[in-house]
Structure 1
Amino acid sequence: MSTATATEAEIPAGREEADPERVARGKPRGHIGGLPVFGWGKAPLYLRTQTQLGQERLKLAEGQQPLAYVHTRDYGDVPLYDPAGAVKMKPLGSKTKAAMRARRTCPECGKVRQYVVRRQCLVCDRKAQQARTRLEARTCWDCREAFPRPLPKEHHRCGGCRRKQLAERRRKAVEWVERVTVCAGKNCSVKLVTKKEAREYQQRQGLGWASWNRAAHWPLRCPPCTEAEEQRQAEQRAQWEREEQERRAAERRAAVARVRWAAEALADPLVVVLDTETTGLHSEARIVELAVLSSGGEALLDTLLDPGEPIPNSEIHGITDDMVAGAKAFSDVLEELTGVLAGKRVLIYNQWYDTGVLRHELVLHYRRMGFREPETAAEAWLDTLSVEDVMIPYSDWVGEWSDYHGNNRWQKLHGGHRAASDCRAVLDCLRQMGRGAAAYTEELERETHV
């Protein structure tokens, strides 16, 4: 194995000049472990990469070290070896040669190529593409019928389809002339432009077009129709302005109603706020914490519940299996919950979710109690509640519009994902909404008076 580096110029015996294949064709761009790193095409010609050695049926000898590196864009710095120090590979078996030959054989022409053929070789693929191009030149663009000779390049249509195309263009040209020479008013036949002038203007644009522009100085309607159109547009604008004023007034009334609703809810002793924490967001999630607070913030019910199954998402609310171990089940607090909610206005942030998990717990409870129709019993219990949602009014009060959903974006409840703290966060939302109730009412009355 040669120990000379790639930068040394080796001079064979009997010669005075250096072997050009063993001389670098450029200066190295750097070094790796003391070995030069050449740019592409600058390394000595006799050096080979491991892939190039394999193409020459050579492989690296045991312990053979590189003499230099070549920098490539895709593979980085690739080591270069002296082929004199490599060893020959063992001859391939007949089965291996046959398999390699089969992979390089084109199924179309049967010739063996120097690359792996997937579907067909590049020569056959190029011929097929040329055949498709010739066929497309002989195929009519309308009827898709192929003819013996190429069709005219300007329209790519057969005689029959070309005549139909020209007839359709003539029909459109005649319709356009008829349209621009007559008043555009409804049921009006007043002539505004002569057909001769229209045809001349059409010809100047080119008859090969599918449509033509109207001359800027041509009137669109006669004076009576123009006056009627202006009156119609004025009536539409007035109607739109009335509808816009009514819409804004309705929005203002709805905003005042939301503010009043929040202020009244805070002052109503019959208002309670309910929230739950669960084992997940699916329809069969179990309740792990339940809280009910009064409108003044007093905790009427605040307890952990044993769901009877592992809690998979404890990192969201922080409630673990150890925390609910030994806690009451939902059935144990159902009587107390019923008494707390009896005759009250129950406010929930996103009522569809919390009523859904309550419905699931009630169905399981009544099923264990032996009810024939636990679903009906659960619905009957929920029907006794007077539930009001807070999320939609609060999101409308914030007014963060979403073009994607077509309404105001739902606001997150920043309560820390614990039942009691979420109930207090709901009360904070009501305080924010109801803080300007008096000002909103005075402003609405002032606008109504004006």
Structure 2
Amino acid sequence: MTLAQPSELGDLFTLEVDERPVQFVRPLDTDRPDWGVYDDTTARQFLGMVHSELSDGAQLWRLGATAERHGTLDDAVRALRRPASWPRERSQVQDWARRVLADESLLSVDVETTGLGDAWAVQVAATDRAGTVVFNEYVNPLADIDPKAVALHKITPERVAGAATFAELLPELTEVMAGRRCLFYNMSFDRGVFERELKRHHGADAPAAQWLDRCRWEDAMEPYAVWKGLWSVKRGRYRAQKLGGPHDAVADCRMLLSRVEQMAAVPPPPHR
């Protein structure tokens, strides 16, 4: 169904979230925008209550009598579907984030690329624990840049035509990253870019693997998904979240540190 304005929703309606229907039932003793939420299965499991409200002109969905709010009804349902293990898992994420931030060797690393597939680097940046830039270079990818990628990071072919290649930057990059705890967001993608660049430079797999092994690679994407706690019944895991940065490598490095600091400090904020 197409979700109407909360004021237009009836006493009983069904919505599909992550390919599983949920049923919303307004209690008989109220005309407020409150609904009980049930998994629309044979067992009709009660998930909890949601309440529609406006905050600074934004439509939000509050869970039960708590202060936790979500910008979409789908996300409110995902929060209600959390497994009972979530508080323990969130606590484990908090402990992980504190260990990461306590590591003096920590680097936050980000790569902007030519595209979303088998991409090449067009910008590589790294900051230390305090967000101070220790490496930031545009990269000539020796390849075309997908216009869709340009629309995101604004790095045009003209901008990098005179930049150094990855191979030319490799000695300095090695000095910066070797032996460090290197934190990424969606690490598998960025590591794939490094591996592709290294194989092109060395012309062989073994030297590329040796270089990669000199860094301690770590990914914050899954911990952040757990911390947010939006459960996808379709995938059987917490729903991955966007980092939220501006697609500038330095700014995204700092945004990543900010997310880890959030995980280390407090539970997820009431208003998402």
> If the TM-score is normalised by the length of the shorter chain, which range does it land in?
0.5 to 0.7
1:309 CA drift (Å): 2.1
Structure 1 counterpart of 2:243:
413
CA contact (8 A) 2:89 2:226 kept: no
- Structure with bigger RCO (C-alpha 8 Å, 6+ apart): 2
Structure 2 counterpart of 1:321:
157
- Whole-angstrom CA distance in 1 between matches of 2:96 and 2:237: 21
- Whole-angstrom CA distance in 2 between matches of 1:403 and 1:264: 30
Instruction: Indicate whether 1:292 and 2:126 are aligned.
Output: yes
CA contact (8 A) 2:93 2:223 kept: yes
Matches within 5 A, 1:135-214: none
CA contact (8 A) 2:111 2:123 kept: yes
1:326 CA drift (Å): 1.1
Please give the per-residue CA displacement for 1:180-200, whole angstroms capped at 9, x wherever unaligned: xxxxxxxxxxxxxxxxxxxxx
| 2:247 match: secondary structure | coil
1:257 CA drift (Å): 2.1
Structure 2 counterpart of 1:73:
none
**Partner amino acid, structure 2, of 1:418:** D
- Whole-angstrom CA distance in 1 between matches of 2:101 and 2:209: 28
Structure 1 counterpart of 2:91:
256
CA contact (8 A) 2:86 2:229 kept: no
Among 177, 187, 190, the alignment partner of 1:341 is 177
CA contact (8 A) 2:108 2:183 kept: yes
Among 255, 261, 264, the alignment partner of 1:425 is 255
Q: What do you get for the CA RMSD once the two structures are aligned?
A: 1.6
- Whole-angstrom CA distance in 1 between matches of 2:178 and 2:212: 11
- Whole-angstrom CA distance in 1 between matches of 2:221 and 2:211: 23
The structure where strand makes up a greater share of residues is: 2
**Partner amino acid, structure 1, of 2:212:** L
**Partner amino acid, structure 2, of 1:311:** I
Please give the per-residue CA displacement for 1:109-162, whole angstroms capped at 9, x wherever unaligned: xxxxxxxxxxxxxxxxxxxxxxxxxxxxxxxxxxxxxxxxxxxxxxxxxxxxxx
Instruction: Indicate whether 1:381 and 2:211 are aligned.
Output: yes
Among 224, 240, 249, the alignment partner of 1:394 is 224
- Whole-angstrom CA distance in 1 between matches of 2:135 and 2:199: 21
**Runs of at least 4 residues off by over 4 Å:** none
**Partner amino acid, structure 2, of 1:289:** Q
The structure where helix makes up a greater share of residues is: 1
Segments of 5+ residues of structure 2 without an aligned counterpart are: 1-82, 268-272
Segments of 5+ residues of structure 1 without an aligned counterpart are: 1-246, 368-373, 438-450
% of aligned pairs identical?
Answer: 38
1:288 CA drift (Å): 0.3
1:251 CA drift (Å): 4.6
1:419 CA drift (Å): 0.9
- Counting matched residue pairs gives 183
**Partner amino acid, structure 1, of 2:263:** M
Structure 1 length normalisation: TM-score? 0.39
**Partner amino acid, structure 2, of 1:309:** A
Among 258, 278, 282, the alignment partner of 2:113 is 278
| 1:328 match: secondary structure | coil
Please give the per-residue CA displacement for 1:226-273, whole angstroms capped at 9, x wherever unaligned: xxxxxxxxxxxxxxxxxxxxx95x654432221022123223221101
Matches within 5 A, 1:101-120: none
Please give the per-residue CA displacement for 1:149-178, whole angstroms capped at 9, x wherever unaligned: xxxxxxxxxxxxxxxxxxxxxxxxxxxxxx
- Whole-angstrom CA distance in 2 between matches of 1:384 and 1:253: 33
| 2:125 match: secondary structure | strand
CA contact (8 A) 1:265 1:295 kept: no
- Whole-angstrom CA distance in 1 between matches of 2:247 and 2:152: 7
- Whole-angstrom CA distance in 2 between matches of 1:400 and 1:252: 13
Structure 1 counterpart of 2:194:
358
Structure 1 counterpart of 2:145:
311
**Partner amino acid, structure 1, of 2:104:** P
Q: Please tell me whether Structure 1 or Structure 2 has the larger radius of gyration of its CA atoms.
A: 1
| 2:169 match: secondary structure | helix
Structure 2 length normalisation: TM-score? 0.64
- Whole-angstrom CA distance in 2 between matches of 1:411 and 1:309: 30
**Partner amino acid, structure 2, of 1:296:** A
